[in-house]
């Protein structure tokens, strides 16, 4: 009996020792982990960091790549949460390491953050046509731009949208392409029911690509696969590029209406009738939708209800009075090129009152929407000139004469302004001085407005070629 009792005691003791060793091993070898939210975005994005598995009450250094960004303190369980750091403005497109390193000891954890500088619609909701995050191409190296790839997609006038490593471009035949933004390989295509001239640029938000067609149908597709999610039928052709803000898609139609649609379901939120076709892309800022109509007016509508807040006439003295270029809204001011006139207007966003107007060269009907960056308004004229104006006063800072109509809306990124003309040239100019830094002869007039994202410039021409330019690799 005594022998059996002793045996059981020894076995029990051995089991306890093994359990203790197992638990200690778990404590010694458990790996710290962190979470990073969001997982991707442009430079200056604010990240929220949380971590666990560190030593109790440990001090933990936080790094973005090799740059120290902050300090976290673990609790009694070795966890922390709600620590914010910013992505450096110099972070280049691509994968970057976010690391948490325990000050004492060897504990460390990391996650990958993807830097992207998307140009996801005709431009962002306010239609400034300025990419403030571009940090690859600049005034010192833009002269080295080279053609990286091109693809013949057919006649086009819609601007390319660039989002999440994909370029979306629509053709006059109603075909939407999705390309790998870096290589130009076709990922998928979608053929609409329309084969007429499509002028509407795609917009991309939350994994959905939105665009309108000449048959009056507005489409929402899965951005990864091209699968149709829903459509909405308007009363006439859609030449307006969509704007997506806070879960609502805003779109104009040639039936004289501007529509607000639920971005997820396509259900109508509201619609507002103007006195003419709506072909411009609406600008949305601070809960207000701004748009121009072929009746010559700029309208300001409540973004939630569609109720008219004000309207201001900027059309010409004779028919057609159309306002076809999109307005831009910056710091409480609406900038727009007048309808069938040689005037550029600055209006008070809250009331529509005119702040200033400036004459530019006349010629072909105006099609250029303003780009606004760093207190300067850039706009092209039907007379063939690109203008830079003081945003506060309208004073002309510089002009560049191309000899033919500026047929695109300019795009601004990192001190460079990009634009195309009817003389078949794509230009890059110094945004401060107007000096031409680089140009490229395309096959036909440059109709689609350029898009600048992730160190590449995209533009199309009337011959139907989509071009992608990049700096040569070191």
Residues 74 and 155 in one domain: no
195 or 137: which carries more pLDDT confidence? 137
| Mean predicted confidence (pLDDT) in 111-120 | 94
Arithmetic mean of pLDDT, 130-153: 94
State how far the Cα of 387 lies from the Cα of 334, in Å rounded to an integer. 17
Q: What is the pLDDT of residues 245-291, one digit of tens each?
A: 999 999 999 999 999 999 999 999 999 999 999 988 999 999 999 99
pLDDT score for 383:
83
In the listed set 80, 115, 150, which residue is the last one of a domain according to the structure?
115
Whole-number average pLDDT of the chain:
88
Confidence of residue 120 (pLDDT cuts 50, 70, 90): confident
Co-location of 26 and 37 in the same domain: no
Residue 124 inside a domain? The answer is no
Q: Report if residue 122 sits inside a domain.
A: no
- Identify the pLDDT of residue 324: 79
Same domain, 205 and 302: yes
Q: Which of 83, 115, 147 is the last residue of a domain?
A: 115
In a domain, 180, yes or no: yes
Domains held by the chain: number: 3
Model confidence at 36: pLDDT above 50: yes
Q: What's the rounded mean pLDDT across residues 160-189?
A: 93
For residue 25, what pLDDT band results from cuts at 50, 70 and 90? very low
Same domain, 146 and 58: no
Instruction: pLDDT band for 165, please (50, 70, 90 cuts).
Output: very high
Residues 82 and 211 in one domain: no
Contacts of 5 (CB under 8 A, 6+ apart): none
158-167, 220-229, 337-346, 388-397, range with the lowest pLDDT: 337-346
Q: Please check whether residues 80 and 25 belong to one and the same domain.
A: no
pLDDT given at position 10: 47
Specify if 372 maps to a domain: yes
Tell me the HSE value of 195 on the side-chain side, using a 13 A CA sphere: 0
Q: What's the length of the chain?
A: 474
Same domain, 8 and 73: no
Span 90-113, average pLDDT: 94
Domain of residue 72: give its range.
32-115
Tell me if 235 is assigned to some domain. yes
pLDDT, tens digit, 9 for 90 and up, residues 298-311: 999 999 999 999 99
- At residue 29 the predicted structure's pLDDT band, cuts being 50, 70 and 90, is very low
Q: 261 and 184 share a domain? A: yes
Q: DSSP secondary-structure letter at 326? A: P
What is the 8-class DSSP label of residue 89? T
We report the CATH number of the domain holding residue 292 as: 2.130.10.10
- 207 part of a folded domain: yes
Q: How far apart are CA 343 and CA 358, in angstroms?
A: 5
Report the CATH number that the domain containing residue 93 is assigned in CATH. Answer: 2.60.40.1930
Does the pLDDT of residue 1 top 60, yes or no?
Answer: no
CA–CA separation, 389 and 200 (whole Å): 28
CA atoms within 13 A on the CB side of 182: 8
Q: Which residue among 115, 145, 174 closes a domain?
A: 115
Whether 123 is in a domain gets the answer no
Residues 289 and 304 in one domain: yes
73 with 176, same domain: the answer is no
pLDDT per residue over 259-268, tens digit each? Answer: 999 999 999 9
In a domain, 155, yes or no: yes
Nearest to 67 by CA among 41, 93, 101: 101
Q: What is the pLDDT of residues 330-364, one digit of tens each?
A: 999 999 988 777 889 999 999 999 999 999 887 66
Q: Phi/psi of residue 78, each to 5°?
A: 80, 25
| Residue 123 confidence (pLDDT) above 80 | no
Averaged pLDDT for residues 109-120: 94
| pTM listed for this prediction | 0.88
* 168 and 62 housed in the same domain: no
Residue 47 shares a structural domain with residue 26: no
**pLDDT tens for residues 371-382?**
999 999 999 887
In the structure encoding, which two tokens stand for residue 136, read together?
Answer: 């690859």
């Amino acid at each position: 009996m005594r022998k059996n009792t002793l045996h059981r005691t020894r076995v029990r003791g051995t089991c306890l020792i093994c359990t203790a060793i197992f638990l200690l091993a778990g404590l010694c070898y458990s790996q710290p982990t962190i979470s990073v939210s969001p997982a991707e975005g442009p430079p200056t994005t604010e990240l929220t960091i949380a971590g666990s598995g560190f030593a109790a009450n440990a001090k933990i250094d936080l790094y973005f790549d090799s740059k120290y960004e902050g300090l976290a303190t673990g609790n009694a369980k070795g966890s922390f949460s709600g620590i914010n750091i910013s992505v450096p403005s110099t972070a280049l497109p691509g994968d970057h390491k976010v690391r948490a390193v325990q000050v004492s000891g060897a504990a460390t954890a990391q996650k990958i953050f993807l830097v992207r500088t998307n140009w996801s619609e005709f431009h962002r909701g306010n239609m400034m046509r300025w990419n403030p995050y571009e940090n690859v191409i600049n005034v010192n190296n833009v002269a080295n731009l080279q053609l990286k790839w091109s693809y013949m997609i057919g006649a086009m006038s819609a601007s390319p949208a660039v989002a999440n490593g994909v370029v979306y471009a629509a053709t006059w035949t109603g075909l939407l392409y999705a390309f790998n933004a870096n290589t130009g390989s076709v990922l998928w295509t979608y053929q609409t029911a329309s084969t007429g001239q499509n002028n509407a640029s795609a917009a991309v938000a939350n994994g959905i690509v939105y665009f309108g067609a000449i048959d009056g149908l507005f489409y929402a597709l899965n951005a990864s696969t091209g699968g149709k999610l829903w459509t909405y039928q308007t009363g006439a052709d859609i030449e307006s590029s969509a704007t997506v803000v806070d879960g609502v898609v805003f779109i104009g139609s040639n039936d004289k209406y501007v529509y607000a649609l639920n971005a997820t379901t396509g259900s109508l939120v509201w619609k507002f009738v103007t006195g003419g076709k709506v072909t411009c892309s609406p600008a949305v800022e601070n809960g207000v939708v701004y748009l121009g109509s072929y009746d010559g007016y700029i309208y300001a509508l409540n973004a939630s209800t569609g109720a008219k807040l004000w309207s201001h006439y900027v059309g010409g003295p004779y028919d057609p009075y159309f306002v076809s270029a999109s307005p831009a809204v910056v710091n409480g001011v609406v900038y727009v090129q007048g309808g069938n006139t040689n005037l550029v207007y600055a209006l008070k966003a809250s009331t529509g009152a005119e702040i200033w107007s400036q004459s530019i060269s006349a010629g072909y009907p105006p099609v250029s929407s303003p780009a606004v960056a760093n207190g300067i308004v850039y706009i092209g004229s039907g007379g063939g000139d690109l203008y830079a104006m003081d945003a506060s006063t309208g004073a002309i800072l510089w002009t560049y004469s191309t000899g033919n109509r500026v047929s695109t809306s300019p795009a601004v990124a990192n001190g460079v302004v990009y634009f195309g003309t009817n003389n078949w040239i794509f230009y890059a100019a110094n945004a401060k001085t107007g000096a031409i830094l680089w140009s490229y002869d395309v096959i036909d007039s440059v109709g689609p407005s350029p898009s600048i994202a992730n160190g590449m410039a995209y533009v199309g021409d009337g011959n139907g070629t989509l071009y992608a330019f990049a700096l040569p690799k070191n």
